Amino acid sequence: KLKRDDATASISTRRVSVREKLLLTEVAELEANSPWTCKVHFPDPNKLRCFQLIVTPDEVYL
């Protein structure tokens, strides 16, 4: 019985929901279409909902 529970647990952790697939495509779209002044950084690649957006100015005023 323990082996069976472990097997179902590993299958459920490998299963990717439709929401996660949509999030992956939107992240790829964001990275591809963002201007060069914007960078997206994911501290933990497994948590796509937690990210940092770094925006730098394109001109420097002196």
* Domain map (residue ranges) of the chain: 2-55
pTM, full prediction: 0.53
58 token code pair: 């394109």
Cβ 41 vs Cβ 52: under 8 Å: yes
Residue located via tokens 């990275």 = 31
41 pLDDT more than 50 = yes
Following DSSP, what letter does each residue of 3-24 receive, concatenated? Answer: HHHHHHHHHHHH---HHHHHHH
According to the model, what pLDDT value does residue 45 have? Answer: 82
Q: pLDDT (tens digit, 9 = 90+) per residue, 6-38?
A: 545 545 555 778 888 888 898 889 889 988 899
